[in-house]
Amino acid sequence: MESRERHRPACPSRASKWVDFGAVKEAVSMERVLAHYGVRLKGVSKSYLRGRCPLPAHSSESSKESFGVNTDKNVWACQSASCVRAREGHLGGNVLDFVAGMENCSIREAALRIQRWFGVGGGCVAGSPAGSETERARQLVAERKQGQRLAQDGPIGRAGNAVLGFSLAGVNSSHGYLRQRGIQRGTAEAFGAGFYAGKGSLHGRVVIPIHGENGELVAYAGRALGDAEPKYRIPAGFKKSLVLFNLHRAVCSGEDRVVVVEGFFDCMKVHQAGFPCVVALMGAWLSNIQEGLLVEHFKQVQVMLDGDEAGRWAGRTIAARLRKKCSVQVVDLPVGQQPDQLSAEAIRRLIMGQGGPDISNQT
């Protein structure tokens, strides 16, 4: 019996086979590729799967559920620091990048394998001789563009902030500036915040580590002690819209209700007042990525932004966006006040019942 392979229309040579990367990505879902490898993940929401990372580059034994897939966007990410380092800082990508990682091959070869496995998106380039310079040039351009997209696209929409390969040493969590802001030493140590006297752009500032969803260190913010500008120094290229400050600790608290504040010190003061499930937007606006993180991890959200006009408007706007997805409560602060200016008792009083109406079902 003749092989079925012999009845297929064949290109003159492998080198002349055109790969339509877009067609492959659109035609094949991450679920199909995972099934091909026998990988099983658990569903944590309607469009999000999570489980152990199957990539050969993954070496961490402690990151047990660092691998996630967004089925709506057909992208994946492993947020284990060791796995990210092995992939030169890339947190994830699409089906092509996943297969390339599993097979230790190029993006082109990954696309060709997917075509063979699932019978999609390939063929000959009409009129191109085998191995022609024109065909090869087209293929190289396509591969280069694909590689650029994989580096830029955010796996599960959250990549773009590379994991830092270092941590600052000699951070003083007992510095007087922290005491002036009402931050106790134990709180500062828990957050890794403190005065940094070392070299570099953060010299002479209070540094505050910023972590990703699974605790990976992605940046340091540096707060000036006085009126120096800029007030906060944050690394160029860091995208605060992709993370929620303190999310990894809030998730580990095991609570379903989270308090959302604006700034770093607001977050530390609320945590210090006895509410470890607190995150900061690092501003007064909620990005789509941050919204997704809140809805994914928590059932109830208490929005407690600053008590000025801008903060109150932003708080109600954010609550209106969230109300169809989870229970939302707006916590109104005294006019002109910020959470980090309040006593622990005042914070507790506001959060525990005097924060305003539940608007989860309001229109």
Q: Answer yes or no: CATH 3.90.980.10 is held by domain 162-238.
A: yes
Range list for CATH 3.90.580.10 in the chain: 11-157
The pLDDT of residue 42: 87
Residue 181 C-beta-side C-alpha neighbours within 13 Å: 29
The pLDDT of residue 226: 82
Give, in words, the CATH class of 11-157. alpha beta
Q: CA-to-CA distance for 224 and 254, rounded, in angstroms? A: 34
Q: CA-to-CA distance for 289 and 239, rounded, in angstroms? A: 11
Give me the DSSP letters along 88-140: TT--EESHHHHHHHHHT--HHHHHHHHHHHH--SEEE-TTPPTT-HHHHHHHH
The answer to whether 92 and 159 have CB atoms below 8 angstroms apart is yes
| pLDDT tens sequence across 214-234 | 889 999 999 999 888 899 999
Q: CA-to-CA distance for 35 and 30, rounded, in angstroms? A: 8
Residues 6 or more apart whose Cβ sits within 8 Å of residue 295: 45, 322, 325, 326
Identify the band that residue 259 occupies on the pLDDT scale cut at 50, 70 and 90: very high
Cα distances (angstroms) measured from residue 209 to each of 195, 212, 221, 222: 12, 10, 6, 9
Asked whether residue 136 carries a pLDDT value surpassing 80, the answer given is no
Residue 258: exposure state from Cβ atoms within 10 A (0-12, 13-18, ≥19) = buried
Range list for CATH 3.90.980.10 in the chain: 162-238
Quick one: DSSP state of residue 311? H
Asked whether residue 154 carries a pLDDT value surpassing 60, the answer given is no
Q: Is the dihedral of CA 85, 196, 238, 75 positive or negative?
A: positive
Asked whether residue 254 carries a pLDDT value surpassing 90, the answer given is no
Considering all CA atoms of the chain, what is the largest pairwise distance in Å, rounded to the nearest integer? 85
Asked whether residue 301 carries a pLDDT value surpassing 80, the answer given is yes
Identify the band that residue 282 occupies on the pLDDT scale cut at 50, 70 and 90: very high
The pLDDT of residue 17: 54
The answer to whether 168 and 220 have CB atoms below 8 angstroms apart is yes
Residue 12 C-beta-side C-alpha neighbours within 13 Å: 11
The answer to whether 69 and 32 have CB atoms below 8 angstroms apart is no
Q: Answer yes or no: CATH 3.40.50.300 is held by domain 240-363.
A: no
Quick one: DSSP state of residue 229? S
Range list for CATH 3.40.1360.10 in the chain: 240-363
| pLDDT tens sequence across 58-111 | 887 777 788 889 888 888 988 777 787 777 777 788 999 999 989 988 888 888
Asked whether residue 3 carries a pLDDT value surpassing 80, the answer given is no
The pLDDT of residue 357: 36
Identify the band that residue 43 occupies on the pLDDT scale cut at 50, 70 and 90: confident
